[in-house]
Amino acid sequence: MIDHAGGTGRYDEAALAGFSLGGNLTLLHLGREGRGIDPLVRRAVVFSVPCDLAASAGEIARRRNRIYLNRFLVDLRVKIRWKMAQFPGRIDDDGYERIRDFRDFDDRYTAPVHGFRDAEDYWTQCSSKPHLPGIAVPTLIVNALNDPFLPPACLPMAEADANPMITLLTPASGGHVGFISFNGDGRYWSEEAAAAFLDGGCFN
């Protein structure tokens, strides 16, 4: 997408925004590219990021989160069935009911489809947390302390302290991609925070 936007010649700069797993991918790209990031990319903002995928998967598998996990697995089965129609014979949902958590799902689908050995290999290679030191553009990370899917390992305080390009906000509330604010125009706090940061605002 960055290459496409730059290739049109219509943009002088771009900002990246990501939520949840999309936020992890955003940070992973920024960290891996480091100072070699496309110069079009000037800033980034992410919310509710499971930057340690193994830790987040373990948290979601906890008993208190079972209602959320069951909902995720139901939605993912729908997506698997879409893929079955797109790629007949290459993917199926036989025995899907035996999948109990994200480890099972990632072992069966995510890892092999994308060339990883298993769930652990996928989580290790695709967690953004180890790559945060490489981020070289101003980046805002917002992870709520009451996010039911993010354990302490997903609050990268040491990494943010060590990298002046990273601003980490850990509000007491917000849940997972919630960040609602009650105002007359219906804007979310996350939208206002993102706009302010991408416009050059300071959150220190």
Nearest to 139 by CA among 48, 15, 39: 15
- 52 classed as catalytic: no
- 107 classed as catalytic: no
Rounded-to-integer distance, Cα 123 and Cα 53, Å: 5
SS3 content of the chain, % helix, strand, coil (to 5): 50, 10, 40
Rounded-to-integer distance, Cα 135 and Cα 175, Å: 25
Rounded-to-integer distance, Cα 155 and Cα 145, Å: 8
Catalytic residue among 12, 176, 185, 199: 176
Give Cβ neighbours of residue 178 (< 8 Å, ≥ 6 apart). 144
Catalytic residue among 101, 106, 107, 147: 147
- 147 classed as catalytic: yes
Rounded-to-integer distance, Cα 150 and Cα 88, Å: 36
Catalytic residue among 20, 56, 127, 190: 20
Are the CB atoms for 192 and 198 separated by under 8 Å?
Answer: no
52, two tokens = 């340690």
Residues recognised as catalytic? 20, 147, 176
